[in-house]
Chain A
């Protein structure tokens, strides 16, 4: 098995900076998204030299580097650009897994015969498809491919073959940040003076498990070249989106109406072919600059505009500023027929049993007074306290 990794370092920062490339040569970082936790996003190389890291609190980052330039995040633009790159990779036949924007992996085994029969030819086809500078790496597992891509130069792919543990030994521990399960380990390891993956492997499995628990065990496997978890490629699908320009910056009720319109337009698209929607993304270009994006996964696959509006209405309330463009796109389709309701109504006995169970659970959670009912004792009494009593509800 040979996994190919495509790595575009600082992808979100580069996209957000746009044409202001000069920014990236100076200490710069992605500003925290409005309304979210005050942590910075990706940082430029110059900022890294000051000890500023992605995920650091804004206050600490500014304390370490007072001249740090904050670039407003552009999650909508980043998602669009990354979607185009994923589509290009899928166009060469790759089943691509992507944990985050800027990082994609796929298994090259099934592609070789399509592209000349060798790994080098597959890597060349990948580079042609991307049409932009990217670091390419290949290895027997996902983590080794990742390490190879990290080591690669933009014009020269790196391939790790043979003894993966030996090939990884000299790599920095910061590579563990690239896998979510071990992302928190590099900082304490560096503080303990452990700077290479070889040194991590030398610690031994038991010591790593004692100190870091499951993350330590995962790290031990990774540094020895074992990354057993299979790739989970996305199913390549069509993109379906509707956008609406709001001539007067929209917020509140106007935004809700615009959202309703977008839902109706999306559901009316012929490409939907009667399918339900499982997950969608709402994105907005904000009047004061920057963008906002929120992914919404429905509790069940939906095709009902009213329920969809209800679910999305709450999210639109999180919009940090008035929007000038609102867009709704399909992230994942559901089955052609959603939740199958029973043809005939439940019998009364069945409903009563469900109600009894619900009350039992409510009382178990909130005490015996969780379900009461008002009982009229003497509704015509002139003395108000004699008219009604509260009594336990028994279905």
Chain B
């Protein structure tokens, strides 16, 4: 191990969403319910701003999953932590 390693790094996820951006399935698992959704905006004062729409959902097989959509560069990610 060369140096410190971040915990909870985002991982790319396959998410199908409706027109409003609400997840319908994650990695092939249907979304049963949305528990919470929130927006994170950070470092807007720098050259590398961060803008994410987070969704905490429960899938049909009972998993509690947190995913977010990267609003600047696009793409879906899942994240623990």
Interface residue ranges, A against B (CB under 8 Å): 368-369, 372, 374-375, 382-392
Contact = CB atoms under 8 A, between A and B. Distances in A.
B40 A387 contact: no
Nearest to B52: A383
Interface in B1-36: 1, 3-10
B45 to A, nearest CB: 15
A385 B1 contact: no
Contact of B7 (A369, A383, A387, A392): A387
A372 B42 CA distance: 30
Contact of B6 (A368, A372, A386, A392): A386
A387 B10 CA distance: 13
> Main SS of chain B's interface residues?
loop
Contacts of A392: 1
A389 B42 contact: no
A385 B42 contact: no
B59 interface: no
A383 B1 contact: no
B7 A385 contact: yes
B7 A388 contact: yes
A387 B4 contact: no
Contacts of B80: 384
A383 B40 contact: yes
21 contacts: A368-B1, A383-B50, A384-B8, A385-B7, A385-B8, A385-B10, A385-B79, A386-B6, A387-B8, A387-B81, A388-B7, A388-B81, A389-B5, A390-B1, A390-B4, A390-B5, A390-B6, A390-B7, A391-B3, A391-B4, A391-B5
Contacts, number: 42
A385 B4 contact: no
A369 B40 contact: no
A374 B5 CA distance: 9
Contacts of B7: 374, 385, 387-390
A388 B8 contact: yes
Interface in B56-81: 79-81
B40 A385 contact: no
Contacts of A384: 8, 79-81
Nearest to B39: A382
Given A384-B8, A389-B7, 9 more contacts: A369-B1, A375-B4, A382-B40, A383-B40, A384-B79, A384-B80, A384-B81, A388-B6, A389-B4
Contacts of B10: 385
Contacts of B40: 382-383
B37 to A, nearest CB: 14
Contacts of A387: 7-8, 81
B42 A383 contact: yes
